[in-house]
Amino acid sequence: MSWNPTWWSGFSAAKFLCGRVGLSIVAGWFFATAELFGASGASVTPTNAVEFKVGDMFPDLKGFSLDGKIPKLKGQVAVVDFWGSWCAPCQRTFPVMEDLHVRFRKQGLVILAINVDKSRVAMEEFLKEHPVTFNVVRDSKRELVSRLKLPSLPCTFVLDREGRIHSIGKGFFSSDIKRKHIQLIEKLLAEPPSIPNESTTIPRPN
């Protein structure tokens, strides 16, 4: 095979661009994680924080001081996403969640984005650049984010109608991750709401 300077130049340029894109993604994740846990890398989560996993019940949001109107999650399939204005990967997650909201809201899907910025202005500036129509609240005191012991931002939970966690997504939404989320959401939406067993709530006579 003869030497082709043009081919090699194109290959080098493509390799350079791929490296830049990969570097920007890694850098975005690093700074999001650094801001969440503190610049020194030390976790701001309390010692009693719990690392939730698939199968656990998501905490009742009424027990936390969140700024904004909290939608009803009980009885609904829900996507709860934690994000920050400084988080570069969050910028890629928001359009995906807006697409899911528009696509499935009439079927009963509720999307709630929980911002962890200390500054309301920073959150509002982000929302001006990335407008959405789903629910957004702010965990300004970071009570909830500490309770959940989040590893990084964005972090996305998919819940069934009972509030049980079926998926925990860490990082931005790739096309493959989006496809898996759609499949899971469609599956959960197709499941009929469970009927509570009233007999278990009626106390027995003494």
> Which helix (H) or strand (E) segment is 136 a member of?
strand 135-138
- The pLDDT-based confidence of 195 (bands split at 50, 70, 90) is low
Which residue has better confidence, 194 or 201?
194
User: How far is residue 19's CA from residue 22's CA, in Å, rounded to a whole number?
Assistant: 5
**CA-CA distance, 8 to 167, in Å (whole number)?**
44
Q: According to the model, what pLDDT value does residue 126 have?
A: 97
- Cβ of 127: how many Cβ atoms within 10 Å? 15
In whole angstroms, what is the distance from residue 188 CA to residue 186 CA?
6
Share of the chain above pLDDT 70, in %: 70
User: CA-based Rg of the chain, rounded to a whole angstrom?
Assistant: 21
Using pLDDT thresholds of 50, 70 and 90, give the confidence band for residue 45.
very low
Per-residue pLDDT tens for 126-154? 999 999 999 999 998 888 888 887 878 89
Residue indicated by tokens 């899907």: 109
Tens of pLDDT along 79-92? 999 999 999 999 99
Q: Tell me how far the alpha carbon of residue 93 is from its chain's centroid.
A: 8
DSSP secondary-structure letter at 61? Answer: G
Phi/psi at 154 (nearest 5 deg)?
Answer: -70, 160
pLDDT, tens digit (0-9, with 9 covering 90-100), for 173-189: 788 888 999 999 999 99
